[in-house]
Amino acid sequence: MKNNWSLCFLSVFIMEISCTSVRRIANQEITLKNNVAQLSFSRKTPLLTVYVDNNDARFIFDTGATVSVLHDSTIVSNFTNRTFDFFLSAKGADGKKIRNRKISVLLSSALFESPNKVLTYINTPLFDCSARKPYSGIVGMDVFFAEKKSLQMDFTKNTIANISQEQLQKAVTAEDYKLVKSSCKLGQIRIFLSVEGVEYPFLLDTGYSGAIIFPEDKKRVFKNNSKLELEGSIFQTVSATTQGKETIYENMPIRFSDYDFDVKINVSSSIKAQNIGIEFIKAFDWLIDYNHNKVYVKRNQNKIEDTFKRTISYYAKAQEGKLLVSVKEKSQTRFNLGDQIIAVNGHKVLPENICQLMDLLNKTEDWNTLKIETIPVQR
């Protein structure tokens, strides 16, 4: 099994669109179904079964994305001869603009159907030693909340559903849901958490595989000193792997509605978003009444990680046929980011074993137990 350190952060926000795109989006027809859909998971990524031009596929269910995205062009009928809008701009979680195209397709699932759904086409990179992605696109919030429907996310059963106002009120009345402070606008859902006693807004983002992330801010200083500081390529966004400094705090005290608990928090120099991800979201069942700006939650049995699962010294990544040091813990001095690993335990790095040696390195907490030969990076 490939061991890939990069965390997923796949949400997309539209920044600039052409007049043609405005017309296409305005003319698209989306019908919501009062139905329930099962989610599957690839590692921590929630996947929804959809049909694109009658071809079945798995799309990421991403509450942090304001638009729906196509990654795999092979599932679109006659893709090369389709009409596109070019030179549009979207923004990923790292704040970088992504050039993309828009295409209209027949899109349906257990929850919705559209004869002319506009998808943003972004061809995400596939890195050395990466298996074929288990998803072909992203289902964003642009397909939900029409017709006064609300969204139910039940992570006790790993299902999502469109529900009516009557069903919403029945669930709120009959079950132990609590109203939480929220803001629903511009296709985004934000909820509020208190971290070390200070309240912050966070985007609800099932496309982020972690729990809670802050962008780096020198004015914000946490009291907690139990932290792990990493440097290098940590996050996989919709278009690239980030490069920067990431600080992970463990056992951070959180208050959410009437719930108090400890959790891990990331502070990132490369990610510009302030989000809560699927690791946190899955610990609750959710009712989202977007049209009335109300969000209800209920604690379930899923655990939220609060401590480091393992010690991290270094990670390696295969890139353009070379095995490179891609992540290091800040205090480590034996290797530098970008050093090329040419042999491990006497085995030279070759095309036929590069992925196997990468896995060995990334599963080993202490690289001092391995005999590693490198070519130092040129500064």
pLDDT in tens, the chain (379 residues): 333 344 555 555 544 445 555 556 668 899 999 999 999 999 899 999 999 999 999 999 999 999 999 999 999 988 888 877 754 555 555 555 666 788 999 999 999 999 999 999 987 766 678 767 899 999 999 999 988 899 999 999 999 999 999 999 999 998 889 999 999 998 999 999 999 999 999 999 999 999 999 999 989 999 999 999 999 987 766 656 777 899 999 999 999 989 999 999 999 998 888 999 999 999 999 999 999 999 999 999 999 988 877 778 999 999 889 999 999 999 999 999 999 999 999 999 999 999 999 999 999 999 999 999 999 998 7
pLDDT value, residue 1: 30
The reported pLDDT for the residue numbered 109 is 98
d(CA 193, CA 196): 10
Instruction: Please check whether residue 178 is in contact with residue 258, taking contact to mean a CB–CB distance below 8 angstroms.
Output: yes
Main-chain dihedrals φ then ψ at residue 37, nearest 5 degrees: -125, 140
The answer to whether residues 4 and 134 touch, using CB atoms and an 8 Å cutoff, is no
Q: Do 334 and 355 contact (CB within 8 A), yes or no? A: no
The dihedral through the CA atoms of 282, 286, 289, 294 has a sign that is negative
Residues pairing with 70 in the sheet? 121, 137
Length of the chain as a residue count: 379
SS3 percent helix, strand, coil of the chain, rounded to 5, is: 15, 45, 40
Q: Which residue in this structure is represented by tokens 């990069």? A: 6
The token pair that represents 153 in the structure block: 């996310």
Task: Provide the token pair at 77.
Answer: 């009928």
**Do 31 and 113 touch, CB atoms closer than 8 A?**
yes
- Six-digit token string for 322: 């070379």
The two structure tokens encoding residue 251: 């056992």
Q: Report the amino acid identity of residue 290.
A: Y
pLDDT at 234: 76
Answer for the pair 253, 195: CB distance below 8 angstroms, yes or no.
yes
Separation CA 25–CA 143 (nearest Å): 11
State the Cα torsion 221-223-228-232 to the nearest 10°.
0
Residue 2's pLDDT is: 35
The residue with tokens 């290098």 is 232
70, amino acid identity: L
Give the separation between CA 92 and CA 45, rounded to whole angstroms. Answer: 17
CB-hemisphere CA count at 13 Å for 357? Answer: 26
The pLDDT of residue 252 is 95
Q: Please give the structure tokens belonging to residue 154.
A: 């039940």
Nearest alpha-carbon partner for 203 in 32, 13, 46, 40: 13
